[in-house]
Structures are given as structure tokens and as C-alpha cells.
Amino acid sequence: MQRLTALFSAALLATGLMATTAQAQQSDDPAQDSMTTQQAPAQDFSNDQLQQFADASKEIAVVSQEYTQRLQSAEGEQAQQEVRSEANDKMIEIVEDSGLDVDTFNAIGQAIQQDPEMMQRVQEMAEQS
């Protein structure tokens, strides 16, 4: 159980990286940005979406660990930024390959932080896959 909690923590850390990049890629309209940050996550995700999240999270945790090690050994700000960018691209690819878009993945990540029952459901799905 401790392993799964660590796994989801890594995945949530990864979603934070993706959310930061996604916001940076959006238009520079301040009204749109404030609306984005104030939206509450949707709470009614399908079982398929939760399963896709669980599967992607497991892969992202592995990638996150790999790139964290690479980031620690990178020398200089430019090298660190290249590692972050490569990690972000890889995590986005994993999410999209899972069948989710990044926004939905992030919304599920936020929702499970606020809903212990949903977190439990996703953890059980991760254990079964």
C-alpha cells in the first residue's frame, strides 16, 4: 500500500509538471488563465477513465523516477531545462497513449486528491492491472 501511495504521489508530481507546461502553452489572455486556475475538477469520471488514469500513472511514476535521477545529474540550467522538457514530453505521450487527454488526466489527479473514495478506487484499479 505504501508503494501505491508513492506511485500516485509521483504521478501527481508529474501532472503538476504537465499542468505548468500546458498553462504556459495557452494564450496570454489573463481572463482565460484565471478561469483555468479557478475551475473545480469534475467529479464524475467513468470507470474507463479512472482505469486509464491508473495505468498511465504507473508508467509516469517510472518515467518520473528515471528523469528525476537524470535531472539531479544534469549540470547547468540549460541541461536541466532540456531534461525537464524531455520528461514532460514523455509523460504527455504516456497520457495520450492511455486514451486520456492531459486536461482530463490532470482533472482526475486533482479529484483524487480531494476525494479519498475515488483515490481508493483508482488504487484498487492500479493493483488489478
Average pLDDT over residues 58-82: 91
Residue 20: per-residue pLDDT: 41
Question: pLDDT (tens digit, 9 = 90+) per residue, 33-52?
Answer: 433 444 444 468 999 999 99
Question: Can you tell me the distance from the alpha carbon of 118 to that of 129, in angstroms, rounded to the nearest whole number?
Answer: 17
- Higher model confidence: residue 54 or residue 14? 54
Listed by start position, the domains of the chain span 2-19+48-128
Share of the chain above pLDDT 70, in %: 67
Phi first, then psi, for residue 124 (nearest 5°) are -65, -40
Q: Which residue has the higher pLDDT, 37 or 71?
A: 71
